[in-house]
Structures are given as C-alpha cells and as structure tokens.
Amino acid sequence: MKLLCITGGSAGLGAALVKLYQAQGWQVCEFSRSGQLAGHISVDLAAGNAASLVDRHFSQLASQEWKEVLLINNAGMLSPLAPVATLSDEAIATNLSVNFNAAIRIIAAFIRHFGDLPARKTVLQVSSGAAIRGYGSWSLYCASKAGLEHFIRALAVEQSTAAHPVVCINFDPGVMDTAMQAEIRSRTTEEFPDVGRFIARKEQGLLRQPADVAAAIARLVASEIQGGERYSVEEV
C-alpha cells in the first residue's frame, strides 16, 4: 500500500492531488480545516497544537507497512496582502505560523516517524515564483516560500547520508486558477500594485488548471528525482 500525507487538501491544487492519488489507489490523509474528501483530518494550521496533532497521526501511520510514502506540503495563505507598514503583529504571527512554522514542524515530524522506513519516501514542498522574486504587499508569503525552499535544500543534504533517505524537493506549480488567484485579483492597486498583471493573466487564459498541475506532480514524484532540487511545472 502507498500513503500520501498532504496539507491544505481542501481546495485547489490540494484537492486535485487528493482525488488523483485516491483514484490511483493510494491511502490519503489530508490535513486542513475544511476538507470534504475521504481521508480528511481536521487541523487548523494556525493553531499552536496543529503540528502535534499531525505528529500523532504520523506516529500511528508509521506503525504500518508501506511500499511508498509521500508528504506534499501544500498548505499556505497569502493574507495579509498589504504593505509591511500596515501589518499587525497578530496578522504577521498567523501568516508565519501557517506558511513557515507549521510547515517545518510537520516536515520534521514526517522525518522522525518515517525516516527509518525502508521504502521510497518523498517530501515535496509546494513552492512559488514568490520564493525567488519579491512582490510588493506579499512580503510574508515571499519570505516563507523562500525560507522553506532553503530549508528543503538543507534537509536534502542531511538526508543524503541517511541509511534510508527521504528525497526532499521543492516544486513551483506556476500560476493556477484557484481561490488564491481570485483573492489576488480582488485587491486594489493600493493594496497590491501589480494586480493588473494578474487580472490580465486570467483574461488571457494563462492560468493552469489544478488537475493538470496535480498530474504533473504525480509524474515528477514517480520519476527519478534529485533531493534538494527545485522543479517547475514547466519542466515536467
């Protein structure tokens, strides 16, 4: 049996991945606040106990035998989308809790519980072009994505000498037609100066469908991949 653990599988790319892997016969555990698909486990990643709840599930799952185990860290939030000077301490803390702190703690828990499993194991961090390019009003999102990419690279170095290594990679899904994109397009130029470019992408039909990106991820994970690398949907 093969196991997919995924965060943020309630909508968009995450939901597309859940459906795809379930259709392929994988057991899926999906961690989010509002998922409706089979395998959903209710977790608020902004809450202080989120990582410990996921950790307990990993502990139970790791006691079983698996042919392959995959963690896709997909959860993320863009808000607050606003200039730095307007950000409250609470909004900053919530964003970084979801986008950065919880992500690292969940990956660490995955390594602890599945690291010694003698099977194919992969951690795929869903990244963004924002990891390598700064966008005004996206400071927290950009910082989190950039930090996680470097975390994955460092983790890959550690795993390269492990007895049963976990292959850890970053993946840029490109610009998709999701609720996050709709949120971006709803902002004023005062909130997000580059909003016009994102509106134009939608009008020109340049947004990828989540199901197509999910299929690209599945192809990538099934191929020979190199730990620490940054892959893009355009390459798969």
120-154 pLDDT per residue, tens: 999 999 999 999 999 999 999 999 999 999 999 99
Average pLDDT over residues 69-97: 95
Report yes or no: 73 and 51 within 8 Å, Cβ to Cβ. Answer: no
d(CA 18, CA 4): 8
Report yes or no: 214 and 177 within 8 Å, Cβ to Cβ. Answer: no
d(CA 213, CA 234): 10
Q: For position 203, what pLDDT does the model report?
A: 78
- pLDDT of 197 over the 90 cut: no
Domain ranges of the chain: 2-176+209-232
Both tokens of 36, joined, read 């409706």
Helix locations, 24-137, DSSP H: 50-62, 89-96, 102-114
Q: For position 217, what pLDDT does the model report?
A: 98
- Could you tell me what percent of the chain has a pLDDT over 90? 81
Fold of 2-176+209-232: Rossmann fold (3.40.50)
Both tokens of 41, joined, read 């486990």
- Kindly report the backbone phi and psi dihedral angles of residue 53, in degrees, each rounded to the nearest multiple of 5, phi listed first: -65, -45
User: pTM to 2 decimals?
Assistant: 0.94
Q: Residues 90-129: pLDDT tens digits? A: 999 999 999 999 999 999 999 999 999 999 999 999 999 9
Both tokens of 46, joined, read 């902004």
- The residue whose two tokens read 């139970």 is 60
